[in-house]
Amino acid sequence: MNSEELFKISKNIIPGGVNSPVRAFEPYPFFVKEAKGSHIVDIDGNDYIDYCLAYGPILLGHSDDDVMKDVYEQMQRGTAYGAPTENEVKLAEEVIDRVPCAEMVRFVNSGTEATMAAIRLARGFTGKSKIVKFEGAYHGAHDYVLVKSGSGAACLPDSAGIPVETTQNTLSVPFNNVDALTKLIEDEGEDIACVIVEPVMGNIGCVEPTVKFLKFLREITEENGIVLIFDEVITGFRVSRGGAQSYYGVKPDLVTFAKVLGGGFPIGAYAGKKEIMSLIAPNGPVYQAGTFSGNPISIQAGLSTLKKLDYPFYGEMSQKGDFLRESISDILEDLKLELQGVGLSSMFQIYFNEEPVIDYETAKRSDAKRFLVYFRELLKNGVFIPPSQFECNFISGAHTDDDLIKTSEAIEQALKVAWKI
């Protein structure tokens, strides 16, 4: 069976034919046979250099030999216990050693679970109800944060099935906007439990914060007794050893992780100041639990992965990222295209947009339709990126110089086709 045939069957028995919406693209997504290192192979026999990397978790490359060996060994010893293990303690120690704000860690199963628990914890700690997120930020698929629109005012749900009352305590402001945030906190600060932020907005493409904005965010939340949560589900252990908070030198109160932390297996975690984390059950009154939390397979994969993420890994990742970003910049100049090549460390994207992208509003003005032409042309030339202008592209440690050179050539070709040059 090929991908087209499988999709026909799948559409009838799995909603949209996929198990997460972003995976669907026209006319049908390819179905995966296997993936190794920087490459992913579909059941139709096509081999792609992969910059989707499962939307971020795969930092060492697919199916890393060392991680797999440790995981196989763990599998012989059992796959779930419902009782603690030494490896959970070791992984918590690794997180605390790397991440500036982490004094205590609780493992969960996904990024969604992590942000849901961190928000509940912030509310439990402060005794306040309102939360602030930034327009366009994605913090998982749970009810309190599934809102994109609305400025200052209470946000409306972004999905059917979420009661309006559920999101009336969720406020939003534009990213990178000191004035809007100041006004919101002046007006509503007394009722705000937390501000949750993706320090790099990875769900509208790739938008970096200004350092001034992040520092201001830290100051104003501290002054107003508001818990600052960095959602580092994408940036954690990816942009630097200690994530975005180390990269930009700004320390939040709480942080959420998932993706890279599980070394390719499902995981999530939230961490932060002991004073706040101590309120979690069974220590304190903020309830949170999970059958598979601290799952020994995911924990082993995370531990084996983090061991490999040390000097000189992050320097090498930045070099790979710089190579692609510089190539993109040269290509755009040669083709006389005024588009925005963006990114940091092992994250990159091209905005089909003539103006700099600093927030959701500016991101939305990108030519998302033309981007899909670019995406399809890349795919034709053996390069797989997420099928959306509003996702980020990722590089892994397994990407070779040869991969990166081939990718630059494919990008040039795809831009020419998309812009009819």
Dist. CA 62–CA 51, nearest whole Å: 11
112 belongs to the binding site for ligand PLP (CB under 6 A): yes
Among residues 311, 120, 155, the alpha carbon closest in space to that of 227 is found at 120
Question: Using CB under 6 A, which of the segments 39-47, 84-92, 96-104, 134-142 binds ligand PLP?
Answer: 134-142
Which helix (H) or strand (E) element contains residue 418? helix 401-418
Whole-angstrom distance, CA of residue 390 vs CA of residue 365: 11
Q: Does 136 bind ligand PLP (CB under 6 A)?
A: no
**303: Cα separation from own chain's centroid:** 19
Q: Shortest gap between Cβ of 20 and ligand PLP (angstroms)? A: 8
Q: Which amino acid belongs to residue 161?
A: G
Applying CB under 6 A, among 176, 203, 245, 340 the residue interacting with ligand PLP is 203
| 25-33, 58-66, 187-195, 226-234 -> range binding ligand PLP (CB under 6 A) | 226-234
55 lies in the binding site for ligand PLP (CB under 6 A): yes
Binding residue (CB under 6 A) for ligand PLP from 3, 38, 87, 110: 110
Catalytic residue among 148, 251, 259, 320: 259
Single-letter residue type at 201: M
Active site residue 259: yes
Question: 32 pairs with which residues across the strands?
Answer: 42
Interface residue with ligand PLP, options 124, 199, 202, 264 (CB under 6 A): 202
Verify binding: residue 375, ligand PLP, rule CB under 6 A: no
Query: 200 near 209, Cβ under 8 Å?
Result: yes
Q: Which is nearer to ligand PLP, 111 or 157 (CB)?
A: 111
The binder of ligand PLP chosen from 61, 124, 140, 205 (CB under 6 A): 140
394 is a contact residue toward ligand PLP (CB under 6 A): no
Is residue 133 a contact residue for ligand PLP (CB under 6 A)?
no
CB-hemisphere CA count at 13 Å for 53? 29
- Residue among 48 and 55 whose Cβ is closer to ligand PLP: 55
What is the C-alpha R_g of the chain? 21
Query: Which residue in the list 48, 51, 55, 138 is annotated as catalytic?
Result: 138
Q: Is 247 a catalytic residue?
A: no
Residue 138 annotated among the catalytic residues of the structure: yes
Beta bridge partners of 37: 62
Structure tokens at 229: 């949560």
Is 58 strand, coil or helix? coil
258 belongs to the binding site for ligand PLP (CB under 6 A): yes
Residue 408 sits in the site that holds ligand PLP (CB under 6 A) = no
Bridge-partner residues for 270, per DSSP?
106, 256
Q: Which residue is closest to ligand PLP by CB?
A: 111
Size of the site for ligand PLP (CB under 6 A): 16
Cα separation of 84 and 401, whole Å?
A: 42
Phi, psi for 415 (deg, rounded to 5): -65, -40
* CB 203 to ligand PLP: min, Å: 5
Identify which of residues 244 and 411 has a Cβ nearer to ligand PLP in the complex.
244
Distance CA 349, CA 327 (A): 12
Cβ proximity to ligand PLP, 112 vs 389, nearer residue: 112
Does 10 help bind ligand PLP (rule: CB under 6 A)? Answer: no
Secondary structure string (H, E, C) spanning 224-250:
CCCEEEEECCCCCCCCCCCHHHHHHCC
Please give the residue ranges that form the binding site for ligand PLP (CB under 6 A): 55, 110-112, 115, 138-140, 198, 202-203, 231, 233-234, 258, 268
For the annotated catalytic residues, the residue numbers are 138, 231, 259
